[in-house]
Structure 1
Amino acid sequence: MTSPARVDVHQHLIPPEQRRAMSGRATAFGWPAPVWDERSAIAMMDRRSIATGMLSFAAPVGAPDDPAGARATARKVNTYTAELVKDRPDRFGHFAVLPLPDVDGALAEAAHALDELDADGVTVLSNAHGRYLGDPAFEPLWAELDARGTVVLIHPTAPPGAALSDLPAPLADFPYDTTRTALHLVLNGVPRRYPRIRMILPHAGGFLPYASHRFACAGRLRTGTTPEGVLTDLRRFYFDTAFAAGPAMLPSLLAFAAPGHVLYGSDFPMVPEDWGTGFDAALDSYPHWAPGQLHAVNRGNAEALLPRLARG
């Protein structure tokens, strides 16, 4: 690529204590088991012109009936990640994982991560053991994150219910769950009530840009809402390009997203590097970029969202 080195807002790490569980989770999904260590991550970033990767942990941190275990695992993962970032702040950033659906635990971990560990934002899953993010029980968390103007990466996970045995959940179910939680947030008024939260939807927002005008018709079904209002609130989200920068997806995403709201993402190592480089090439070779638009997607929009990354 010829534009400045990328900021990757959707990159993962796998701490040593979670390695076996993450490999088992991938195998259960019918997906390639991810392999990660700091050195290989930096080597991958150098090959793909990624200057800085915003690290997040992309799996549940505990079982539904073990909130204490989820709190402990979230703290361990966030402490481990913060140490990596402290050693290489030029190459890594940190979206701290929160132990939802435990709201009190999530509030405590958000405060610790943002105040003590200097996290750049937080990450939550698209549903927390079946509870979607517009659930009124999560209101105290959104209020706190709004007060702090927090960046929130909403990472997809498997939706409730049985998966199709011959269709890996990350391939189709994850984009579906991203779409589902985004609509749930909007129809419950969360982005409108808390406009200082900047929420990132991975993988170009699932199916959201392509079917946004269909989804906007939900505004006809509720008193006090309109299709135009639903569209306005859906466009408050940010979107990353991880595993989504194809020639059929980019026109829809760029037509829908608000200016400055499209960000580069790799989803490494959950998306293997040899898969991801094809999407990088599609991004670079897309023939309809406006002047400066590719640079904005690769880096400029992330610098505006995360000012500490801005170059002098």
Structure 2
Amino acid sequence: MRTIGLEEHFVTPELADYGASSASIIQPEKWREASRRLLDLTGERLAEMDAAGLDVQVLSLNSPGIQAEADNATAVARAAAVNDLLAGVVADHPDRFAGFAALPLQDPQAAARELERSVSELGLRGALVNAHTRGRYLDHPELRVVWERAEALGVPLYLHPANGVGTPHVIQGHPELVGPMWSWGSETATHFLRLVFGGVLDDFPEAKVLLGHMGEGLPYVLWRLDSRWAYHNHHGIELARGNPSEYLRHNLYVTTSGVCSTPPLLCALLALGSDHVLFGTDHPFEEMAEATAFLESAPIDEEDRAKIAHLNAERLLGL
């Protein structure tokens, strides 16, 4: 069965320093190995894909990427350069790779133009966004232009974690909870909910949003969201779709990246429907072979397995 992974990271030597903050989160020897593998685009990566039975990787720049750049003009130039490089890798291996663009969200108008160029001229399949950019999330009014362009192009934005602006008080004193262990997931789930309650998904009702890690816990709480929204002080907010769960079922797509476990997979399928669950490995922070073996052996029917493995990605990304 053809298998397409949607959360497959890389970095270039010029951009590697942007990810240095992860060095404090990951065990030193594991960070060194992950850093080495991130720099490899077509050597060991292709051999590992072959061994794991992973036909296609949709490549994306490792977190936090361009969004960590302090200077706007540098961010714009570096985003264009890395997207050009990525498009070249895809052109050299069109049967094995596709790509998500990096966006210079420091400059919203430039980010929208870069998304347009990346999709229309370079053939990339959307963009991946790593959490906040200088404290701004994607519900910020100035970033509506990026959503307008994404909806018009029909491509998704993949919301990926990164370090937050600060450490929440409840986590202070517990550095073990910072990062993918816990805080990244809760922050990324909140990022999506900001799109719901911030009106983005009412302004752009056909926007498509991807979340990794089996939806960052959101599929588990759909009933609770609706129940409490009916009870809660709305603070003047009205949702065009009525209930929060309707946005998750309509706009949200999740990938299996970094979660090789049956209970959350079944929850995602039951909560969102099999058309909204796609495959990912979270390379190089998880092992491709473990992820593909999990998908192959998961106790789901073959129609759903094919949707997750490749059919949904082909439809959503035009592959």
Describe how 1:127-276 pairs up with structure 2 within 5 A.
Answer: 127-162=132-167, 164-216=174-226, 217-218=228-229, 220-222=232-234, 223-225=237-239, 229-235=243-249, 236-269=251-284, 271-273=285-287, 276=288
1:182 touches 1:234 (CA, 8 Å); kept in 2? no
Q: Distance in 1 between matches of 2:96 and 2:68?
A: 32
SS at match of 1:17: coil
Alpha carbons of structure 1 residues 62 and 306: separation in structure 2 relative to 1, 3 Å:
closer
- Greater shift, 173-182 or 64-73, is seen at 64-73
Deviation at 1:294, TM superposition (A): 0.7
Q: Percent identity?
A: 29
TM-score, structure 2 as length reference: 0.86
Q: Which residue of 1 aligns with 2:79?
A: 74
Counterpart AA for 1:15 = T
Q: Which residue of 2 aligns with 1:6?
A: 3
Q: Which residue of 2 aligns with 1:282?
A: 294
Alpha carbons of structure 1 residues 57 and 265: separation in structure 2 relative to 1, 3 Å:
same
2:52 touches 2:289 (CA, 8 Å); kept in 1? yes
| Alignment match of 2:56 (pick from 52, 55, 63) | 52
Q: Distance in 1 between matches of 2:260 and 2:149?
A: 33
Q: Distance in 2 between matches of 1:250 and 1:259?
A: 10
- Greater shift, 109-118 or 231-240, is seen at 109-118
Q: Distance in 2 between matches of 1:198 and 1:291?
A: 25
| Alignment match of 1:305 (pick from 287, 292, 316) | 316
Alpha carbons of structure 1 residues 144 and 40: separation in structure 2 relative to 1, 3 Å:
same
Counterpart AA for 1:178 = T
SS at match of 1:56: strand
TM-score, structure 1 as length reference: 0.88
Q: Which residue of 2 aligns with 1:296?
A: 307
**Alignment deviations for residues 153-177 of structure 1 (CA, whole Å, 9 cap, x no partner):** 1111122212642335122122112
Q: Distance in 2 between matches of 1:13 and 1:194?
A: 30
| Alignment match of 1:28 (pick from 24, 29, 49) | 24
- Greater shift, 88-97 or 131-140, is seen at 131-140
2:202 touches 2:240 (CA, 8 Å); kept in 1? no
1:111 to 2:116 alignment: yes
- Greater shift, 214-223 or 252-261, is seen at 214-223
Q: Distance in 2 between matches of 1:72 and 1:279?
A: 35
Q: Distance in 2 between matches of 1:207 and 1:301?
A: 21
Q: Distance in 2 between matches of 1:299 and 1:63?
A: 32
Alpha carbons of structure 1 residues 277 and 25: separation in structure 2 relative to 1, 3 Å:
farther
SS at match of 2:187: helix
1:175 touches 1:206 (CA, 8 Å); kept in 2? yes
**Alignment deviations for residues 211-260 of structure 1 (CA, whole Å, 9 cap, x no partner):** 22223324643253389521101222000000123123112211111341
Q: Which residue of 2 aligns with 1:15?
A: 12
Q: Distance in 2 between matches of 1:303 and 1:66?
A: 36
Counterpart AA for 1:281 = A
**Alignment deviations for residues 105-150 of structure 1 (CA, whole Å, 9 cap, x no partner):** 2122112212221211111122223222222221111112111112
Q: Which residue of 1 aligns with 2:126?
A: 121
- Greater shift, 60-69 or 77-86, is seen at 60-69
Deviation at 1:62, TM superposition (A): 4.8
Alpha carbons of structure 1 residues 213 and 127: separation in structure 2 relative to 1, 3 Å:
farther
Counterpart AA for 1:297 = I
Alpha carbons of structure 1 residues 19 and 63: separation in structure 2 relative to 1, 3 Å:
closer
Alignment length (residue pairs): 300
Q: CA RMSD in A?
A: 2.1
- Greater shift, 124-133 or 291-300, is seen at 124-133
Deviation at 1:63, TM superposition (A): 4.1
More helix by share: 2
**Alignment deviations for residues 21-75 of structure 1 (CA, whole Å, 9 cap, x no partner):** 43x3331222532223121111121122111110111323154641112112211
Q: Distance in 1 between matches of 2:80 and 2:241?
A: 41
Q: Which runs of 5+ in 1 are unaligned?
A: none
